[in-house]
């Protein structure tokens, strides 16, 4: 790549932090500019709802790379600004401070933003969303032993936050609008396990209930639900999903469909513009459908593919999605996507222990696995999914039969 070429990366989270150094490693010798709307170097986001919130980790310890690493690789990071428009014809990016930057290649790693709810009282002091460092710092300043927290949303982010707040000695209530927590991502058996564990840890989980308002004068004092129930709160945390940041791409005329559409090489409909991470939609050859993933793994792996593409090395992206969630002493590792499963096979004691694996099967083939404190089942599960061969259900269900014996040699 010519040393006069410039690559601009819009966004500065996991995908960007992987992409910029990977460009150098792949041989990009031109300028690399990273545009961040925050005032922090790229940092790990998963700890925000866990160790950072409890104080077990500080800002420095969750940085993806130290400042010296970017300096050494001659990567320029501009903080506190956002990109407002792309002039594709002239290859020019405009920032909200009025500056314009010319690019040869542009990469959109714009991520996703929290889904906001429109109910009375949502703008009161003490009401928070949790997506970035600023959010986490504000919540952290409002925590304290015996304070009351109401969390709206019983997905992973809400439950991780509940776990962290219990460690701080807070009284925690989780309100979930669907009939059960984790309904979109796990089987009823797994959801029931997590509901039991949280109850044992002192969290009050209320399912099938809709928050309709937040009461209080200047600060939040209670969350009121559609059934008339009222839950007192010193702080309210809302976690009801995210929305991909696609406005910049849409305004530039790029193809967008539940995310910025990219091909297997991370290229958008304009091949001089690439995209990676939570903001993208890509075709996954394993599941034979388009996916938009909210995953550190996807952001990092897709960014590596983008870096290779920019340097002339076309390596198609075909990774198996995987995720994780830490709650209390439980490490949930998820391999694959369970949508479309017809059967769930449990290995281990899901009712009396804190270690088991749930295997999601369709017509004898493994789609996904939820492994709780079972890293080996997670690793072997990934191989079994990619193998895509019919499995012996009796052997899969028998915890005395080693999983590795189900692998086709």
Cα distances (angstroms) measured from residue 248 to each of 32, 100, 108, 229, 330: 20, 15, 9, 41, 39
Q: How far is Cα 236 from Cα 246, in angstroms, rounded to an integer?
A: 28
Q: Do the beta carbons of residue 344 and residue 359 sit within 8 Å?
A: yes
Q: Which residues of 39-73 are buried (b: 16+ CB within 10 A; e: fewer)?
A: ebbbbbbbbbbbbbbbeeeeeeebbbbeeeebeeb
For residue 264, give the nearest of 301, 318, 307, 304 by alpha carbon: 318
Q: How far is Cα 233 from Cα 215, in angstroms, rounded to an integer?
A: 9
Structure tokens, 362 = 């369709």
The pLDDT value given to residue 33:
98
Structure tokens, 288 = 């034979």
Summarize pLDDT for 62-95 with one digit per residue, the tens: 999 999 999 999 999 999 999 999 999 999 999 9
Q: Do the beta carbons of residue 362 and residue 336 sit within 8 Å?
A: no
Structural domains for the chain: 6-113+243-310 (3.50.50.60), 127-238 (3.50.50.60), 329-406 (3.30.390.30)
Summarize pLDDT for 33-61 with one digit per residue, the tens: 999 999 999 999 999 999 999 999 999 99
For residue 220, give the nearest of 160, 167, 142, 117 by alpha carbon: 142
What are phi and psi for residue 208, nearest 5 degrees? 60, 45
For residue 245, give the nearest of 17, 124, 83 by alpha carbon: 83
Dihedral angle computed from the Cα positions of residues 203, 207, 213 and 217, in that order, rounded to the nearest 10 degrees = -10
| List of residues 6+ apart from 34 with CB closer than 8 A | 8, 9, 11, 12, 16, 20, 70, 75, 76, 77, 78
CA dihedral sign of residues 104, 110, 287, 290: negative
Q: Which three-class secondary structure state does DSSP give residue 278?
A: coil
The pLDDT value given to residue 409:
72
- Low-confidence residues of the chain: pLDDT under 50: none
The pLDDT value given to residue 4:
80
The pLDDT value given to residue 331:
97
For residue 239, give the nearest of 178, 173, 159 by alpha carbon: 159
């Amino acid at each position: 790549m010519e040393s006069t070429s410039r690559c601009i990366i819009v966004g500065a989270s996991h995908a960007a932090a992987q992409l910029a150094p990977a460009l150098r490693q792949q041989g990009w010798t031109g300028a690399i500019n990273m545009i961040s709307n925050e005032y922090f170097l790229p940092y790990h986001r998963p700890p925000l709802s866990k160790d950072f919130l409890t104080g077990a980790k500080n800002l420095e310890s969750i940085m993806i790379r130290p400042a010296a690493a970017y300096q050494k690789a001659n990567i320029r990071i501009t903080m506190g600004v956002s990109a407002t428009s792309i002039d594709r014809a002239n290859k020019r990016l405009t920032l909200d401070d009025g500056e314009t930057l010319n690019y040869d290649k542009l990469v959109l790693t714009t991520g996703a933003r929290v889904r906001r709810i429109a109910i009375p009282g949502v703008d009161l002091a003490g009401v928070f969303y949790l997506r970035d460092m600023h959010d986490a710092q504000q919540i952290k300043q409002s925590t304290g032993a015996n304070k009351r927290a109401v969390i709206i949303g019983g997905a992973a982010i809400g439950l991780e936050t509940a776990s962290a707040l219990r460690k701080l000695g807070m009284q925690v209530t989780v309100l979930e609008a669907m009939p059960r927590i984790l309904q979109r991502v796990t089987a009823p058996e797994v959801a029931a396990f997590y509901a039991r564990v949280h109850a044992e840890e002192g969290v009050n989980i209320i399912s099938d209930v809709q928050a309709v308002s937040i009461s209080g004068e200047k600060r939040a004092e209670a969350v009121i639900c559609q059934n008339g129930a009222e839950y007192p709160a010193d702080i309210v945390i809302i976690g009801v999903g995210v929305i991909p940041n696609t406005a910049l791409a849409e305004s530039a005329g790029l193809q967008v469909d539940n995310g910025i559409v990219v091909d297997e090489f991370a290229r958008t409909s304009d091949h001089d513009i690439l995209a990676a991470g939570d903001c993208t939609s890509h075709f996954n050859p394993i599941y034979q459908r388009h996916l938009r993933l909210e995953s550190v793994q996807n952001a990092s792996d897709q960014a590596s593919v983008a870096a290779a593409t920019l340097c002339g090395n076309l390596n198609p992206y075909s990774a198996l999605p995987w995720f994780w969630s830490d709650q209390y002493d439980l490490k949930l590792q998820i391999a694959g996507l369970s949508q479309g499963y017809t059967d769930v096979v449990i290995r281990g004691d899901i009712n009396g222990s804190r270690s088991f694996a749930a295997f999601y099967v369709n017509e004898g083939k493994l789609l996904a696995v939820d492994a709780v404190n079972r890293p080996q089942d997670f690793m072997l599960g990934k191989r079994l999914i990619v193998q895509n061969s019919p499995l012996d259900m009796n052997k899969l269900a028998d915890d005395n039969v080693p999983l590795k014996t189900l692998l086709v040699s």
